[in-house]
Every structure is written in C-alpha cells, then in structure tokens.
Structure 1
Amino acid sequence: MPFIRTNVPHHLSAQARQCIVQAIHDALVSSIGMPADELFNMVASYQPGDFACSRTFNGVVRSEEVVVVEITLRRGRSDAMKRALYEAIACNLQSAAGVNPADVFIFMHENDYSDWSVGEGRLAMGLVQNRGAGA
C-alpha cells in the first residue's frame, strides 16, 4: 500500500488537484501493479517562496510550478519498475493536468510491512488483506 504525499502550487484548482491524484494513482497501478483500490494520496499546496529548488539542477530546466511527489511503499520494486513508474507519473501528469515533465520531482521511501498500521492500531501484516468494499 503506497502512501503518497503530493505538493502542488497553491493556485491549482480542486479539479486540477484531483487530476494529479488520479494520474499518479493510474501510474502506480499500471507500472508497479498496485491494486486499484489502494489509493492514499495526501495533497498539500505551497505558496511562492515556500519551496526553494534549483531551477537547473542536473540539466533539467524547471519552472516555479514544480509538483513534488513523495512515495512511501514496501520494498521490493526493481530499478526498472521504479524507472517505469517515474516515467508513467511524468507522462500522466502532463496529459491529465498539463504539468511539464521537467516540473515533476519524485522521490521514494521504502520500508517493510512492520512499518505500517493501516487500521485498528494493528501491524499491517497482522490484518487480512481485503480488496474493495464488502470484501
């Protein structure tokens, strides 16, 4: 179950934010096989001056409209899967929300089942994995 934190420029509409959330979710489903019902994305906005970043780091020319995607998930994805995920997120954000791929900044934290509690105050690995409503 990935947990996503997405930081977007403050002026984006609720509709644009929802498109961004869906674009990231679709990339997770298509590129790393995440189940479609595992959607957890906390969206926050930042004001001008709240996010300082190099506009040219590593040869990528960024605007002031950077979308920061922080992904926390269980370990086990190969570098090839991560590469496909990053590419899918950038592509989906461009097509769904008009975000320039140069303005997509992604980073990942990996951990284990014992690092999660997804309900009832119990370790995630102690809960039966249910799929969807009424499962």
Structure 2
Amino acid sequence: MPLVRIALLQGKSPEYRKQIGDVVHRAMVEKINCPPQDRFQLITEHARDNFLYAPVYLGIPHSDNLVIIQITLNEGRTTELKKALYQAIVEGLQKEIGLDKQDVFIGLIEVKKENWSFGNGLAQYAG
C-alpha cells in the first residue's frame, strides 16, 4: 500500500541507494505494520540544479547528503506510530550508511484506501 519516493543528489552508489530503500521499508514493516511483500519505491537522483533545499530550516542544518523521503500511505495511523516510523528511519539510516539525522527529511501523504489500484483496473482495497 505505501508508495515511497526517495530523492537525493546525484553521485551516490547503487548500494547506498539500495540501503536507503531497505532501511525505509524495514521501518515501515516494523513500525506501521506494512506487509513485507508490499514494497513499491522510486529512488531518484537529481542534478544540483534540480535538488533545492534550505541550508537551515527550523534550526536544523541540511547538507548535500540530504535525503528526502515521501511516503504515500493509507490514512488512519496514530501520531505515535508516525513518530516511531520517523525515528526508526533516521536511526536506521544513521546506523546503516552513516547519514546524519538532520539530513533525513520525511513527509507523509495519507489517502483513503479506495485511492489505490495495484493492477487490473481494480480498487483492491475498496469496500
């Protein structure tokens, strides 16, 4: 059900990008009960001209290692579950690839279940 978009500056290795995807997926499985086989991720690298960010926002400094993660998922999870997800992602990325916590930007987009079609022109989650 979640669709994950991960964006970063060009220049990281395929292994680095895969590790980011692995950490995000593992956190979703462990913290928000995403089924393990439900993995849909788009990982994109951007030229500097197409990857703009605030060097400091809300007192949080960002570097060229910034990773922007956008997760579209079904609505209804509690604030506590969302906070646990954010924490698991930043801690996992710090541990796995040495990414500084301030360089992880996460945004959630919640949608109704009927807004998904996984193929065959059907709304598999619609009641």
TM-score (normalised: structure 2): 0.95
Matched, 1:65 2:59: no
Structure 2 match to 1:31: 31
What is the Cα deviation at residue 126 of structure 1?
5.3
| Alpha-carbon separation, structure 2, partners of 1:88 and 1:125 | 27
Structure 1 match to 2:123: 123
What is the Cα deviation at residue 124 of structure 1?
2.0
Structure 1 match to 2:20: 20
What is the Cα deviation at residue 119 of structure 1?
1.1
- Structure 1 unaligned segments of length 5 or more: list them: 128-135
What is the Cα deviation at residue 98 of structure 1?
1.8
Equivalent runs, 1:103-122 vs 2, <5 Å: 103-122=103-122
| Alpha-carbon separation, structure 2, partners of 1:121 and 1:113 | 15
Report which stretch shifted further, 44-53 or 109-118.
44-53
Give 1 or 2: higher strand fraction: 2
Partner deviation per Cα, 1:20-49 (whole Å, 9 max, x = no partner): 000000110111111111111110001113
| Alpha-carbon separation, structure 2, partners of 1:11 and 1:88 | 25
Structure 1 match to 2:87: 87
* Number of equivalenced pairs: 127
| Alpha-carbon separation, structure 2, partners of 1:50 and 1:65 | 14
Equivalent residue letter for 1:71: I
| Alpha-carbon separation, structure 2, partners of 1:95 and 1:9 | 20
Matched, 1:56 2:56: yes
Percent identity over paired residues: 31
Equivalent residue letter for 1:60: I
Structure 2 match to 1:130: none
Name segments (4+ residues, structure 1) moved above 4 Å.
none
CA contact (8 A) 2:28 2:34 kept: yes
Structure 2 match to 1:96: 96
What is the Cα deviation at residue 121 of structure 1?
1.1
| Alpha-carbon separation, structure 1, partners of 2:62 and 2:126 | 43
